[in-house]
Structure 1
């Protein structure tokens, strides 16, 4: 077995040849010293292969699930004769299978090649989205939204998990933030695309809102024909990396226990014990209210914000365009908070700061008399979007950092995302048409869940810190690293995952 050591090099004369193995003085195993330049070169290769693919796919997925908000003001409601809460029901129905199938999907992901499973999902939701452009009744719309939820359910938890097997703890969030920022940019692209596609109204006997669904559904169908070939499955099988580069990626991730001692594994085969361990992990359940702070607000906001802007007195076309700056601002905040969170190696603080920004925006929306000050009202939509979106990436990164081994992480992250996304069901139903343009129920419920999220993030932070200190004492009582290894075999320590005495939680 070869173990790799990252070597920070300031003077080029000290750079070791990364192609040479160097015997370790202490262990007798081979250690390959990797210079900082070589390390960055390898990570850039991974970045350019993995991040653009997952980011693009998430952009497509989020546009396809949220474009119903654009279709609504492009004529969907009037042509299908929707009334009362029917639109809300159509938005909500997507999230029922979407939340129920995320855990089974990640189990399948661990049992087959991820590239093939994601390609199946991609093609499936593209087909459903395309045929949404042919619905002619409320019941047809409901059926299409249901099957769209079935098809899209597995992609986000799969992508969020896959990043964890390639990057170390404090490299993960910056990459995830780029990927996740497409949820925000999807709002901007969706508004821009809808503005352009809506002008096809009447072509082929189809309304503008129908063309929005058709054209935005054909994109994932086309992508499915090559995605299975170009999306890498794991570091161990990555053909775009050299052998020593693959080994370097695998080994550095295995050493990520947070204490500098012991190892974790990403090559474990999923079993019932991993599924049960994830469901029994109270820290995952404690993080779910933090997740709801995002989903209750984001999904209701995404589906409603074009209507909110339109009811401030803007035309439907301008309402589509005015959503773009809001989402661009959110992307800036997502990336900024991710950079700072990784740099200072802390998660909880950036959740609290981001959610606090969104709280301020909701308070403003609740007290400003609508639609008396449209410019001010529009301006305070920016902190709402920015704060909610920026708080999500440190929250999910927190979970990714603190669950091991990989099978438990795959199920645990899917569980968190699944139950967390149930907040979308609430979020889709709290913006009531009869309360326009002030939407006190929608803004008030989102405000309340954000406050709950802030509280739970603080509680969890102190729980993690207390457990880290307990394990420090345990290792000391057992006689240090050697004492722990005398008590437990290497396989037992790997099987323990985040329960290992060597594992330390990220705060």
Structure 2
């Protein structure tokens, strides 16, 4: 009969399960008798996910509410042309891209409890200032610094969650967290509809109150967040000593989350040299253009179907609501079958159908229902795909600094697509928006190509590792020495999730 060690080695050669570690297994067994793992996971979810999800909901609300403000008179009151408005949208993403990696490095060198609320407070102040902007220059400055201050949240939270959950638990949590993006779209529509009725209060137009009230809300939540955002498992007070030890043991048996890894620039460079990291970035790049063009132009696209501003705000809600529900459902299904690439290809295909519908309607004002159906397909396809793409590095990249860098690189490379996208939906192309819809369609096709390429590469590297282990069964476990740990995801017993 095979020993437990032999079974672990056999599983590793088959590409099953986490990297082997004898010490971790024994520590986990010692702690598991005193801790109910499922109950503890539920407690972690309730403590961690609502906190970071609220921050991301506010982040997406504060970046995309400019779309709601536009149809309430923003461009008219500030005397800007349609193309100048697009330039303001572009400046947001330039600031976002430039400061993504520096923000994650700061997170690595500080703590989540300090850095995430501080970022939130900073962008809350900037978002509020948008409501008192008096000219085009002010609009440009505020949009740029909104991008700077929001840049560290998403990659920071992805890295943060990777320090709490095992690899096969991260994707669902990250997808749940990201679903707040589409939820923000639904909330944004109804909030904008209600707040716009404050036109004239305090001498301010309704669009100004959208920025002011939503920005102040962000500032208030940010201050509270200093108390409800936690640090890492080893030093939180709301877990017992036994629970902390159990979490440390289960993470040690699974990944690098418990390593005392000092920051090294060599690990940043290691991430830059990895072709898979660049493909994760391209995977998001090909999704960010359709993602942000949809979220930033949905109210305008619907209004140009012939609806009033008020009706347009309300009609943005159903596509986002359906997309939110489907994102969570798709994440659960993807996690159940342990597949990523296949599920991304399927939902990206849904989005392609949506843009084909939008492009095929010659007159959206005569047949608004056809184009409106296209927005449903687009939203239901885009948001689940983005959630899965963004969870990939957190699952597959090992080495804390390398993973933090990979997360930030993915968002930076990805948002270059958004920079381009903000220039595509020009007023002269209304109401069909052939240029913007065509680019979105082309990017979605490229997404399928990139994801399929990454799928092939990950499977190829897994096979190479299995072949190596078959001829070198004595290979150490992932945690057996400092040298093994330093190999990160290059270690023969590290299995990539495709």
Aligned residues: 476
Q: Tell me the SS of whatever aligns to 1:504.
A: coil
Q: 1:469 to 1:85 in 2, by over 3 A?
A: same
Cα deviations by residue, 1:109-132 (Å, 9 ceiling, x for unpaired)? 010111101121111111111111
2:494 maps to: 503
TM-score, L = length of structure 1: 0.90
Does structure 1 conserve the Cα–Cα contact (< 8 Å) formed by 2:68 and 2:188?
Answer: yes
**Which among 403, 414, 421 is matched to residue 409 of structure 1?**
403
Q: 1:255 to 1:215 in 2, by over 3 A?
A: same
State the distance in 1 between where 2:426 and 2:116 align: 35
1:47 lines up with 2:45 in the alignment: yes
1:320 lines up with 2:313 in the alignment: yes
- 1:51, distance to aligned residue in structure 2 (A): 0.4
Q: 1:311 to 1:505 in 2, by over 3 A?
A: same
TM-score, L = length of structure 2: 0.92
Does structure 2 conserve the Cα–Cα contact (< 8 Å) formed by 1:255 and 1:264?
Answer: no
State the distance in 2 between where 1:356 and 1:235 align: 39
- 1:84, distance to aligned residue in structure 2 (A): 3.8
State the distance in 1 between where 2:23 and 2:139 align: 67
State the distance in 2 between where 1:483 and 1:412 align: 27
Does structure 2 conserve the Cα–Cα contact (< 8 Å) formed by 1:351 and 1:391?
Answer: yes
**Which among 460, 475, 491 is matched to residue 454 of structure 2?**
460
- 1:400, distance to aligned residue in structure 2 (A): 1.2
Q: Tell me the SS of whatever aligns to 2:326.
A: helix
2:387 maps to: 393
Q: Tell me the SS of whatever aligns to 1:85.
A: helix
1:96 maps to: 94
Any residues of structure 2 matched to 1:244-255 within 5 Å, and which? 244-255=242-253
Q: 1:134 to 1:338 in 2, by over 3 A?
A: same
**Which among 348, 352, 357 is matched to residue 350 of structure 2?**
357
**Which among 268, 289, 297 is matched to residue 275 of structure 1?**
268
State the distance in 2 between where 1:125 and 1:197 align: 20
Does structure 2 conserve the Cα–Cα contact (< 8 Å) formed by 1:192 and 1:321?
Answer: yes
1:293 maps to: 286
Does structure 2 conserve the Cα–Cα contact (< 8 Å) formed by 1:125 and 1:148?
Answer: yes
- 1:237, distance to aligned residue in structure 2 (A): 1.2
Does structure 2 conserve the Cα–Cα contact (< 8 Å) formed by 1:126 and 1:221?
Answer: yes
Q: Tell me the SS of whatever aligns to 1:94.
A: helix
- 1:256, distance to aligned residue in structure 2 (A): 2.1
State the distance in 2 between where 1:128 and 1:401 align: 33
Q: What runs of 5+ residues in structure 1 fail to find an aligned partner?
A: 1-23, 258-262
1:78 maps to: 76
Q: 1:470 to 1:304 in 2, by over 3 A?
A: same
Higher RCO, Cα 8 Å, sep 6+: 2
1:422 maps to: 416
State the distance in 1 between where 2:363 and 2:168 align: 43
Any residues of structure 2 matched to 1:305-384 within 5 Å, and which? 305-371=298-364, 372-384=366-378
2:178 maps to: 180
Any residues of structure 2 matched to 1:47-66 within 5 Å, and which? 47-66=45-64
1:494 maps to: 485
Q: 1:201 to 1:363 in 2, by over 3 A?
A: same
State the distance in 2 between where 1:115 and 1:488 align: 28
Q: Tell me the SS of whatever aligns to 2:133.
A: coil
- 1:483, distance to aligned residue in structure 2 (A): 3.9
- 1:226, distance to aligned residue in structure 2 (A): 2.3
State the distance in 1 between where 2:248 and 2:102 align: 26
- 1:36, distance to aligned residue in structure 2 (A): 11
Q: Tell me the SS of whatever aligns to 1:404.
A: coil
State the distance in 2 between where 1:84 and 1:30 align: 60
Instruction: Give runs of ≥4 in structure 1 deviating > 4 Å.
Output: 24-30, 263-266
Q: 1:51 to 1:137 in 2, by over 3 A?
A: same
Once the two structures are overlaid, the 10-residue window that deviates more, 395-404 or 71-80, is 395-404
State the distance in 2 between where 1:36 and 1:171 align: 21
State the distance in 1 between where 2:105 and 2:320 align: 33
Q: 1:29 to 1:314 in 2, by over 3 A?
A: closer
2:13 maps to: none
**Which among 191, 194, 207 is matched to residue 192 of structure 2?**
194
RMSD: 2.0
Cα deviations by residue, 1:309-350 (Å, 9 ceiling, x for unpaired)? 111111100000000001001112111110011111111111
State the distance in 2 between where 1:426 and 1:490 align: 46
Q: 1:264 to 1:67 in 2, by over 3 A?
A: closer
- 1:377, distance to aligned residue in structure 2 (A): 1.1
Q: Tell me the SS of whatever aligns to 1:166.
A: coil
Does structure 2 conserve the Cα–Cα contact (< 8 Å) formed by 1:265 and 1:406?
Answer: no
Once the two structures are overlaid, the 10-residue window that deviates more, 169-178 or 305-314, is 169-178
1:215 lines up with 2:208 in the alignment: no
1:226 lines up with 2:219 in the alignment: no
Does structure 2 conserve the Cα–Cα contact (< 8 Å) formed by 1:347 and 1:506?
Answer: yes
Does structure 2 conserve the Cα–Cα contact (< 8 Å) formed by 1:74 and 1:316?
Answer: yes
Q: What runs of 5+ residues in structure 2 fail to find an aligned partner?
A: 1-21
State the distance in 1 between where 2:249 and 2:27 align: 13
Does structure 1 conserve the Cα–Cα contact (< 8 Å) formed by 2:476 and 2:484?
Answer: no
- 1:476, distance to aligned residue in structure 2 (A): 2.5
2:150 maps to: 152
Cα deviations by residue, 1:275-300 (Å, 9 ceiling, x for unpaired)? 11111111011222221222101111
State the distance in 2 between where 1:506 and 1:157 align: 19
State the distance in 1 between where 2:425 and 2:377 align: 18
